[in-house]
Structure 1
Amino acid sequence: MTQPVIGIFGGTFNPVHIGHVRAAIEVAEALELAGVEFVPAACPPHKNGEGLLDFALRLDLCRAAVAGLAGFSVNPLEADRPGPSYTCDTLAALAAARPGERFCFIMGMGDLLGLGCWKNGFGLGRLADLAVHSRQGQGIETFCAFLTDNGPAMGATPTPDPAVWTLPDGHILHFVAVARLDISASDIRRRWRAGNRLNGLVSESVLAKLLTHTDALQAGWDRPLSA
């Protein structure tokens, strides 16, 4: 019997939006994942903290975003971890806390392309399976070109299927084409500062929570912020 695999979807989620949820659903369906856990980063290492909503609020927004989605949940693992939220540490902590379970870390194509700048980025495939979802203008060709250059550093080996590469310790690297929703958290923050409606960009449950935390949004978002 094939071992069930749990998807791990990490990110800043500032805020979580329907593009995040839709991508997670499509990856879960394509790879037949047993479930997906959203894992908000408490202290994103590549952000300086400006324009970042409080972790507890981002956690609560994620819970609202996946409420009612069978198999989807939010893992507050980062709440009690000091220092920057490095993915390699998160995956190692999950493996230590839940021996015998198999995980698949879900990332966007932009994350894959920047993996060389992450702490132990090329070693993530030794900790879990990896699933890379496409983005506009960057599909399977970009995926394969990256692995041609960086596969040896990751221990990745091609298979007859260009969307599937093997990784050390029996892990697998997948490319998953997903429908592109042109939504970004930075654009949502820009629209909020401009006083525009966020309907259709975030779920109604997330929007309702945002509207009850306007003071927190003003403190976190009411200033220019790079994406």
Structure 2
Amino acid sequence: MGLPPTGIFGGTFNPVHVGHVRAAIEVAEALGLGAVEFVPAARPPHKCGGPLLDFALRLRLCRLAVAGIPGFSVNAMEAERPGPSYTCETLAALAGVRPGEDFCFIMGMGDLLHLGQWKEGFGLGRQAHLAVHAREGLGLAAFTAFLAANGPAMDATPTSDPAVWSLPGGRRLTFVPIARLDVSASDIRERWRQQKRIHGLVSEAVLRELKNHADALEAGWGRPESEAIPGTPSCKAT
């Protein structure tokens, strides 16, 4: 019997927050993953020109967020890869340097619903197991409706369990219900611009690091509203 899969949790993490960490923990426990690696995107293709902290700071925040959680780590591989950070290329690179290891790519329901817009998105199940966690009120009904329409394009076939679909190569696509935490990075950025507290939305270690890099936050997210130059529009999150 082989080792359990390693969870790969990719994302912009702008910033990483408690919702990210809690989702990863619950998926890892539900599926018996051997470890989870957060993989921040260096150049996310869907965020071009958007409000984004630099990669080095987002990487440091992720390391602070998972510090002390058994089996959790941060993979900085995207820093060394040219061009946009496409998930299919990340998984291919992992397979190239760690042959024989099983991976499980973790995503939210919102990601699954837009998978057809990702580069080779419907082919991700040929590279790794896929774990989809509930997000923003989207649960098993949305999961099964999506697969009813798109399962053939993904080479996914249903099993006796509506939350589990078979993928090529003995892999599985699994829906994981998790505790609902309506925390979003865009809301955190907006609260910061409005100079509202973000305590409880990020860990204390992440909060301290954000406070220590106020200039970087202003450069990446825009100037706080009370400090905005008169007569100029405030920068809104996307």
Give the TM-score category using the shorter length.
over 0.9
Equivalence for 1:19: 19
**Aligned equivalents of 1:37 and 1:205: distance in 2?**
19
Maintained 8 Å contact 1:186/1:225? no
Residues 137 and 180, structure 2, Cα contact 8 Å, conserved in 1: no
Residues 190 and 237, structure 2, Cα contact 8 Å, conserved in 1 = no
Cα offset for 1:226?
3.7
Whether contact under 8 Å (1:59, 1:76) holds in the other structure is yes
Matches within 5 A, 1:20-59: 20-59=20-59
Q: Which residue of structure 2 aligns with residue 224 of structure 1?
A: 235
> What is residue 169 of structure 1 aligned with on the other side?
169
Which stretches of structure 1, 4 residues or longer, exceed 6 Å deviation after superposition? none
Report how many residues are paired.
227
Pairwise mapping of residues 78-93 of structure 1 onto structure 2 (< 5 A)? 78-93=78-93
Q: What corresponds to 1:98 in structure 2?
A: 98
Give the residue type in structure 1 aligned to 2:11. Answer: G
Paired letter, 1:224: C
Secondary structure of 2:135's counterpart equals coil
Assess if the C-alpha contact under 8 Å between 1:12 and 1:40 holds in 2: yes
Give the structure 1 partner of residue 136 of structure 2.
Answer: 136
Q: Distance in 1 between matches of 2:13 and 2:141?
A: 28
Q: 1:71 is matched with which residue? A: 71
- Which whole-Å CA distance do the structure 2 matches of 1:67 and 1:205 have between them? 9
Q: Establish whether residue 4 from structure 1 lines up as the match of residue 15 from structure 2.
A: no
SS of 2:188's partner is: helix
- Are 1:147 and 2:147 an aligned pair? yes
**How far did residue 89 of structure 1 move?**
0.2
Cα RMSD (Å)? 0.9
What is the alpha-carbon distance in structure 2 between the residues aligned to residue 23 and residue 17 of structure 1?
Answer: 10
SS at match of 1:209: helix
CA distance in structure 2 between the partners assigned to 1:13 and 1:168 by the alignment: 30
Distance in 2 (alpha carbons) for counterparts of 1:2 and 1:177? 26
Q: Secondary structure at the match of 2:151?
A: helix
Contact map agreement 2:21 2:66 (CA 8 A) in 1 = yes
* Same amino acid, percent of matched pairs: 71
Structure 1: unaligned runs, 5 residues or longer: none
1:183-219 residue CA offsets vs partner (Å, 9 max, x unmatched): 1000100010011111100000000110110000011
Tell me the CA shift for residue 137 of structure 1: 2.7
What is residue 204 of structure 1 aligned with on the other side? 204
Separation (CA, whole Å) in 2 of partners of 1:150 and 1:101: 27
Structure (1 or 2) with the larger CA radius of gyration: 2
Q: Which amino acid aligns with 1:95?
A: A
In structure 2, what residue type is equivalent to 1:102? D
Provide the C-alpha distance between the structure 1 equivalents of 2:96 and 2:6, rounded to a whole number of angstroms.
15
Match of 1:112 in 2: 112
Aligned to 2:158: 158
Q: Secondary structure at the match of 2:10?
A: strand
Long gaps (5+) in structure 2: 223-233
2:50 & 2:140 partners in 1: Cα distance? 34
The answer to whether the 8 A contact 2:6-2:36 is kept is yes
Closer/same/farther in 2, CA of residues 209 and 196 from structure 1, 3 Å limit: same
Q: Kindly tell me: are residues 200 and 214 of structure 1, through their superposed partners in 2, closer, same or farther at Cα, counting changes over 3 Å?
A: same
In structure 2, the partner of 1:126 is 126
